[in-house]
Amino acid sequence: MTVVSSKSSSSKRKLRSDSNSTAASAATDSSSKEDASSSASSQPETSPKTSSMQIDDAGSSRLFQPHRSLGLLTAAHPAANAKNLSYSPSSHLFLSKRGKFHLQPQGHSSEETFVTVPLGERFQILTISKLVPTLVSRALPPSSEHHRMRMMRSVDTSNAQYSGGDEEEMHQAISDSSLSVTVATHGPKLLARAVSVTLYSRTRPLVCLDAFPFLEGKKTGRKTRWGIVDMINLGKRRMAMTGEKEGKMENTLLLAVVCARDDVVITNKKDNGGIDVVGNDSDDESDDESDLAGESNQITSSSSSSDSSEDDEDSIAGSERTPANDCYGRVLIVQASRTSMKIINTVDLSGIGSNFIPHVGLHPATYVNKILLGGRPTNTARNGTKQTSMILLNVRSGKMLHSFQCLSNSDGIITTLEQSPAVDTVAVGTSTGSAHLINTLHDVELFALHHKGKQTSKKLSPDNAVSSISFRTDGNATRQGVAPLAVGCDDGSVSVWDLTPVKDDNDGTTRRTLLTQMEATHHGGVSKLQYLPGEPLLLSTGMASNSVLLHVFDAPDHSGRILRQRKGHTSPPRLLRYLHPGVGGGGILANASDGTDAASCQILSCGGPGDLSLRLFSTARTNLDKEYSQGPGLERKAKKLGLVGPEGRAELLLPEVAGLATSEARSRDWGDLVTIHKDHAMAYVWSTKRGSQTGPVLRQPQWNVSAMKKRPPRSAHATSVAISGCGNFALIGTVGGVVYKYNIQSGIPRGSFPRDATSLTEEEERRRKKGIKVAGDVGRTMRMLEKNSMKGGVMPSDIDQAERDRISFMEAEEKRKAIVQRASHEGAVVGIAIDSLNKTVVTVGADSKLVLWNFVTHMPNKKSPIMLPSPAVKLTHVRDSDLAAIAMRDFGVAVFDCSSLSIVRYFGGSRYASPNEMRLSHTGPISDMGFGPDGRKLFTSSLDGTIRVWDVPTGLCVDWMSFASPPTSIALSPTGEFLATSHVGHLGISLWCDKSFFRMVLLDGTPSEPAKMNEPQPVAECEQEEAEQSLSISMPRSVAVKDDSSVNGDNDEDGTNDGVPPQAKEEGLITLSGLPPGHWKNLFHLELVKERNKPKEAPQKPPQAPFFLQWRSGIDSSTNDDADNTGNTETSATNDSSNKDDGWDAVWSDDENGDDADDNADSNEEASDEAKQAKNDETESTKATKRRKVMHHRSKLAELLQNCSEEDSYSGVTRYLSTMGPSSIDVEISSLCYGAHDLDDGLHLLHLASLWLVEACESNQSFEAVNAYLHRFLHVHGNVIIQIDTDLKESENENLSEGAEDPQKLKLKEFADTISQLREKQRAASNRLQGKMQHTICLLRHLSRMV
């Protein structure tokens, strides 16, 4: 056994987790109660701060760091998308369990059931109630080094498609919620098989075991392929704990890991002239393993087993021994606890199990320490006597108990096993499409169900392999008299059979009824399906469908319908756009500073080849994702036309989306989304509000809509699209160089660019015949001239003038045609842009022309065309600054100013062809572009695997990102906070966050080398009751209020800084409180808020209270008070005396209890005189103390002011008010003094409050909050302050005449002096802040003019 520490292995490869998932994992791990005494192989937990800093340093660029991924639900089966896929034993051996989920029933309701789904390097746990991820694990630790070396030797890693070969891939995961652990099998991604077992504690990997340590350092031959094919849950087992809890017992998870060796070997193409050679490895490995034959022959199945008392050293020796030559299978018994995992037994399939290759396993019900293994015999064994395909194994003793002979070799490979509700009955699925029910006690086949697939060009065999089987166990099926069995096949169909026998009247045989068959449920085949225990719900996943479906069977005909679903793209998306972006689209800007968040935006995503869907992904909640409908009743139409399967449905769908444009201006009135499609002439209008294609089809009148008629010419195929700012018109560019203009509401054509490209429509022809003016009709002008010339007779001078006019018009027409011909595109129009005022249209084409057209007259600008240095491939336009970026074939970008009609910037291209200047330009075709929200930054993605960020004013490349897979499309959020990308070979959408929004970023100079970016990963989504935690998880750590200090490293050792305002780094600086704006802004408008929240009418008493409403104490408390005073006299007196120093709480204590206690004590004749006197003295002192506290501590603020005055520091008052709401602050400040009649007690508190405000203004801390408190103080007590000032002025003469001053007037004068001092301090602080702001503004203006 080889144990790989997760921490030490992380240094061997780059960190591949984003800050978001790490922060979520750290928060989850810190809340879990784990045993402090973990084993030596456990990974030490790192602090959240350390993890966040590591991720910022590695895997991110200057501006961006990984945030999360979208649209990735399940791991795709590599063989499902292969061309000419044939069912080979080798391909199915190690791929049969890849991506299959594990169901964890909790209680008796499906709402409490969880599903564990492997997802690349991680696993995610979904809830059945919403199918949203509640937990996402960290990345897998790497497998042993010798497995990677074997992978490098067997794969040509020099090929570009093998980039990222050091990544791990999870094949199967089993979770246990009671232990909070997950055990996963995985291996290197390019190795295509699992070779390691890893234990997770919630989201953190603890222990990684090598399943095949015997392959290290031994000459096993490069053709030997061992891998993990299945993992079986054997239940719980009690184990003695070690360390501090030694002597106690704990539950552990017992698993059987089934391993197999393949006998079909594919050698390297380089050694065989590029031809794959397939054969038996037993013929080629005799020479390589001759030195191990003696050692292997001495090992038997009996010696390989060990009981539960076997020590760890013997277990390690058993797992590291080399199996015999005829051994093609091995079972590892793994015991996993909360903190450790080890192999306790190793069983080799030798003897009766020799020459048997296991594929799947099952732990039958009521079979203790026994498992069923299904598979196939080796190729050499098939040629001899009849061999078995299923065996029964005792994992405790290591003996093969039985070899089943009820299945023949012609049944093919056993691909799945499932326990039936009946004991000793197991369902067996085979590669030939048969599902057998077998009695394991008597080795008898009960019956078989056969499934045949359709013969297609992609499947060489008509057999439809069974991939998964599940029995339905709910009571509704029993009451309806059916016993449903669901069978999933490799063609993506799900068949539901009724196992109730039905006797055939013709031949007397019994058969089973097919209740329903759901065709094409999952693209690429069904990976796994399972009924929920006790409910008519069927959960299923696909091999390549990237979807999780939950069907419910509640119809009378036993058919199923989709109850919940989560789907993603089945092929990598090719085009991404934010829905209604703010830049150039008139969308609503979202920003976290004003209460909204750009993370809650929606992204439109178009599928790649083979995926004809248009999907909408929400960046906040995955349950808001949806697919846009392409018409009602597509499934019904497909069945009506006989089109079955995904290929048949695809014939009714629109072709692959090639481009799209959106506009929010008229989204409430008609369609706001227009799409064009690959090799298709027509454009389609969609409604994002309805989520479907409901608008008109944009086409020319002469184009046929029916596919049975002649289609439009290839020159009419659409290549680009744009929508006007008003949302009324759509412009479609074509291959032939013509741009067609349509009305989005009606779909009627409105001309073309150039205007001569389209003939008159029927409406225009009707208007021409009626004499209605048509703009641009030269024939109408000539006819009007001829008509005028005929009036009043024909004069020679009139004839000459008419001729001259005709000639001049003809010359003008020729000039116009020449201008139009010179400006017209000779190649495909690859980009269109419209300005915000609908005056100018910008088009670029593959003929290197940039043309500006008049939107109304459809005529080109006088300076058109403008020739580009290279043919254009894409165009993007920002309407605010009227700049257009054109991507060209020389891998460069030209920025065109539509106002000055000139090219103002060049980024990259053929100018930087020298090796020393290659870092200043892309080295591959540009796949997509996009401007930032302010138009100052330009983002370009290229197929060279990089994304560059260009600063338009300076012309510099300020950021350079490199990816493992080339990006195909990019999209900027409306505020620029997030960047969405799609990549070659990735089904999901990667989301990156801009670090400049939450930390200081220095963009000095051009990067010398690209920053290698880590791939974002899915994140867990919390429920509504965990909204605050969800916010901190979904955003980067430094955005959270409590964590933003950790970025600069200024926080305490424990990472907390609650309740402490930001401190100035230098003396004299002004700091803000960092409190929410509503805390101090509402203090200025508190009366208005109270007026709005005032109830319209007083609550009315009901005529009669219901019987279940209890009586409220306090209405008549005389009875209870008397009882309390009689029974608890001494207790109340003691409590009063003990709580005399409780401060604010003592104000609300009941004085009557003390009085009653005195009366009762005096009336007690048995008490001594000394005790009475002591008690009376204590009661009198308590009363005096309470009276003083009522006078001084009328509120918590009054108590704080009194205490702070004694300490000569009022900082605690500001901190106390910062924890309260606006209404509570108003109550506290108002309670200091209730008016002029309360000056005897309130004047002292007002004076203390003014001293506090003077000190707060002098400190320059929490500037905005302190000024809000000052405003509220003056607003509440302003009348009292004015009256005091008036009284002092009136009494000045009296004091001079008398020659002595009253002490009360001295206090008033002292308070007035403090108010004057407060005014001066506040004015000085305000002037200081205004001066600093003015200085900063002047400096910014000076620097902006220097650029």
Q: What is the pLDDT of residues 1014-1030, one digit of tens each?
A: 989 888 886 433 433 43
Residue 276 confidence class, pLDDT cut points 50, 70, 90: very low
Distance of alpha carbon 514 from alpha carbon 538, whole angstroms:
17
Highest mean pLDDT among 195-209, 700-714, 1229-1243: 195-209
Q: 674 falls in which pLDDT band (50, 70, 90)?
A: very high
- Confidence label for 46 from pLDDT (cuts 50, 70 and 90): very low
pLDDT exceeds cutoff 90 at 1230:
no
Task: Flag the least confident range among 329-333, 933-937, 1135-1139.
Answer: 1135-1139
pLDDT attached to residue 1220: 85
Question: Of 15, 23, 32, 341, whose CA–CA distance to 206 is shortest?
Answer: 341
Beta bridge partners of 336: 253, 341
List 5's β-bridge partners, or say none: 207
Whole-angstrom distance, CA of residue 1288 vs CA of residue 1284: 6
Q: Other CB atoms closer than 10 Å to residue 826's CB: what's the count?
A: 12
Angle between helices 1211-1218 and 1239-1259 (to 10 degrees): 90
Give whichever of 281-290, 464-473, 1263-1272 has the largest mean pLDDT: 464-473
- Is pLDDT above 80 for 39? no
Q: Given its phi and psi angles, is residue 325 left (phi above 0), alpha (psi -120 to 50 degrees) or beta?
A: alpha
Q: What pLDDT does 1154 receive?
A: 42
pLDDT of residue 791: 55
- Residue 1015 vs residue 1183, higher pLDDT: 1015
- What Cα–Cα distance (Å) separates residue 660 from each residue in 358, 605, 677, 720? 50, 10, 9, 8
Question: DSSP 3-state assignment of 1307?
Answer: helix
Kindly state the tokens that stand for 730. 């759509």
Of 260-274, 384-398, 1082-1096, least confident by mean pLDDT is 260-274
Main-chain phi, psi angles of 1111, to 5 degrees: -75, 135
Mean pLDDT of 780-807: 65
What is the layout of strands, in order, in the sheet containing 547-552?
526-531, 537-542, 547-552, 561-567
Cα distance between residue 1179 and residue 1160, in whole Å: 13
Averaged pLDDT, 548-576: 92
* Residue-wise pLDDT tens digits, 112-131: 789 999 988 999 999 888 88
Question: Which residue has better confidence, 773 or 304?
Answer: 773
**Other CB atoms closer than 10 Å to residue 294's CB: what's the count?**
8
Instruction: Say if residues 882 and 896 touch (Cβ distance below 8 Å).
Output: no
pLDDT score of 938: 94
482 contacts: CB under 8 Å, gap ≥ 6: 498, 500, 515, 558
Residue carrying the six token digits 């003809």: 810
- Say what the pLDDT of residue 1222 is: 86
Weakest mean pLDDT among 952-966, 986-1000, 1072-1086: 1072-1086
Average pLDDT over residues 1160-1184: 47
Cβ neighbours of residue 1280 closer than 8 Å, sequence gap 6 or more? 1233, 1235, 1236, 1239, 1246
Query: Residue 684: is its pLDDT beyond 90?
Result: yes
Instruction: State residue 862's pLDDT score.
Output: 85
Place of tokens 């707060």: 1256
* DSSP H stretches of helix in 32-102: 48-57, 89-93
What is the rounded average pLDDT of the residues 791-811?
68
Q: How many CA atoms lie within 13 A of 690 on its CB side?
A: 18
User: Do residues 878 and 895 make contact, with C-beta atoms less than 8 angstroms apart?
Assistant: no
CA distance 27 to 997: 23
Going by pLDDT thresholds of 50, 70 and 90, the confidence category of residue 1058 is: very low
Residue-wise pLDDT tens digits, 378-403: 876 655 556 788 999 999 888 888 99
Mean pLDDT of 885-891: 93
Could you give the 3-state DSSP secondary structure of residue 449?
A: strand
Per the model's pLDDT, the better-predicted residue between 460 and 446 turns out to be: 446
Coil, helix or strand at residue 715? helix
What one-character-per-residue DSSP string does 129-183 give?
Answer: TT--EEEE--PPPP--HHHHHHHHHHS-TTSGGGTTTT-EEEEEEEEETTTTEEE
pLDDT value at residue 644: 63
Measured distance CA(874)–CA(1240) in Å, rounded: 80
Of the candidates 1197, 1076, 178, 1065, the one whose C-alpha atom is nearest the C-alpha of residue 592 is 1076
- Residue 1330 to residue 1327: CA distance in whole angstroms: 5
pLDDT at 246: 80
What is the structure's pLDDT at 1108?
56
Share of the chain above pLDDT 90, in %: 30
pLDDT at 370: 94
- Please give the order of strands across the beta sheet that includes 956-962: 926-931, 937-942, 946-951, 956-962, 1011-1012
Q: Is it the case that residue 578 has pLDDT exceeding 60?
A: yes
| Whole-number pLDDT of residue 1139 | 41
The DSSP 8-state label assigned to residue 532 in this structure reads: P
At residue 532, the pLDDT reads 93
Mean of per-residue pLDDT scores for the chain: 75
Residue 600, C-beta contacts closer than 8 angstroms, at least 6 positions apart? 590, 618, 619, 620
Q: Residues 257-267: what's their mean pLDDT?
A: 75
pLDDT tens digits for range 54-107: 334 578 999 999 999 999 888 765 444 443 333 444 445 666 556 689 988 876
Average pLDDT for residues 260-280, to the nearest whole number?
Answer: 50
Please tell me the distance from the alpha carbon of residue 940 to that of residue 895, in angstroms, as a whole number. 12
Between 366 and 779, the higher pLDDT residue: 366
Check whether 1311 has a pLDDT greater than 60.
yes
Q: Which residue type is seen at 920?
A: L
For a pLDDT cut of 70, what percent of the chain falls above it? 69
Which amino acid is present at 491? D
Report the range out of 217-231, 536-550, 1241-1255 with the highest average pLDDT. 536-550
* 318 pLDDT tier (thresholds 50, 70, 90): low
Q: What is the pLDDT of residue 167?
A: 82
Q: What pLDDT does 1074 receive?
A: 78
What six digits make up the tokens of 714? 């290839």
Two structure tokens written together for 1226: 């108003």
Q: Which residues, other chains included, contact 1042 with Cβ-Cβ below 8 Å and sequence gap of 6+?
A: 1032, 1056, 1057, 1058
Taking residues 344-358, what's their average pLDDT?
83
Q: Is the pLDDT of residue 421 over 90?
A: yes
Q: Is the pLDDT of residue 515 over 90?
A: yes
Q: How many residues does the chain have?
A: 1347
pLDDT band at 1293 (very low <50, low <70, confident <90, very high): low
Question: How is residue 418 written in tokens?
Answer: 């499932």
Q: Is the pLDDT of residue 963 over 90?
A: yes
Query: Is residue 889 very low, low, confident or very high in pLDDT (cuts 50, 70, 90)?
Result: very high
Residue 598 vs residues 248, 591, 973, 1049, 1135: alpha-carbon distances, Å: 52, 6, 7, 27, 56
